[in-house]
């Protein structure tokens, strides 16, 4: 699994840094199909925390702290509470939630529905996203429009989404730890994944200057289609 983790992490880091979402979901659906949802959530969460800390640092001058703080107030406690119960949930339940989240993401990307929350909904939205992320991961489908509703775009959007993800994954790490999800055998894959994600962040930041918005959208859509197929195969 070493090569697979490095390749997945590198690609996920590039994808999220370019499009602002998608990398975490890709990691979780692929690893869930290969190793099961409990393994996928446990291994990816600390690595994604490190990766988003790094991405937030790269875009630190553009982060909107007001929006990030409001989001954290709802996201951290909700992710912690939901994360505590994840180890007790059957694998099939987690897989079904993951499929639902993946299909929701794809439907939004295809324009089949829109969600335009009020800028005042940041804290409440953060709580709901915290619960979804703890049980299925990859909540960019909701985080994106929530932060866009606050008027964020471009580098400010990427940086603030990264800071919001830090809050989510911090709550998840605490919840999973208290619930007993982590295992000593996960240390190596966590570390490899974190290193690959950070490398992907650096590569993605460089690529942002060279690609068009059209290519960026195509990459995001392609990743979502792959995620949907892999999520369905994983349950099968």
Region of residue 117 (left: phi > 0; alpha: psi -120 to 50; beta: else): beta
CA distance 95 to 167: 24
Q: For residue range 39-77, what is the model confidence (pLDDT) as tens digits?
A: 999 999 999 999 989 989 989 999 999 999 999 999 999
For residue 156, give every residue at least 6 positions away whose Cβ sits within 8 Å of its Cβ, in sequence order, or none.
59, 62, 63, 64
CA diameter of the chain: 45
Classified as helix, coil or strand, 59 is coil
Q: What pLDDT does 188 receive? A: 94
Full-model pTM: 0.80
Mean residue pLDDT across the chain: 83
Residue 81: per-residue pLDDT: 95
Task: Determine which of 8-17, 55-64, 86-95, 171-180 has the lowest per-residue pLDDT on average.
Answer: 86-95
Give per-residue pLDDT as tens, 199-208: 999 998 888 7
Give 79-129 pLDDT, tens digit per residue. Answer: 999 999 998 888 888 877 777 766 766 676 677 766 666 667 889 889 988
């Amino acid at each position: 699994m070493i090569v697979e983790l490095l390749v997945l992490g590198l690609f996920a880091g590039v994808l999220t840094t370019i499009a602002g979402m998608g990398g975490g979901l890709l990691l979780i659906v692929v690893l869930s199909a290969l190793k099961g949802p409990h393994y996928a959530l446990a291994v990816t969460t600390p690595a994604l925390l490190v990766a988003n800390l790094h991405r937030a640092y790269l875009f630190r001058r553009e982060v909107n702290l007001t929006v990030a703080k409001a989001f954290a107030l709802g996201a951290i406690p909700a992710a912690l509470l939901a994360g505590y119960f994840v180890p007790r949930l059957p694998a099939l339940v987690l897989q079904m939630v993951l499929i639902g989240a993946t299909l929701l993401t794809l439907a939004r990307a295809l324009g089949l529905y829109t969600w335009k929350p009020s800028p005042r909904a940041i804290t409440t939205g953060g709580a709901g996203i915290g619960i979804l992320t703890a049980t299925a991961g990859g909540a960019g489908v909701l985080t994106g429009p929530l932060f866009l509703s606050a008027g964020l775009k471009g580098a400010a959007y990427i940086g603030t989404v990264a800071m919001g993800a830090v809050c989510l994954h911090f709550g998840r790490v605490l919840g999973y730890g208290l619930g007993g999800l982590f295992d000593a055998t996960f240390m190596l894959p966590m570390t490899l994944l974190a290193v690959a994600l950070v490398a992907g962040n650096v590569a993605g930041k460089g690529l942002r200057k060279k690609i068009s918005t059209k290519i960026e959208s195509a990459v995001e859509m392609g990743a979502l289609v792959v995620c949907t197929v892999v999520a369905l195969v994983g349950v099968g």
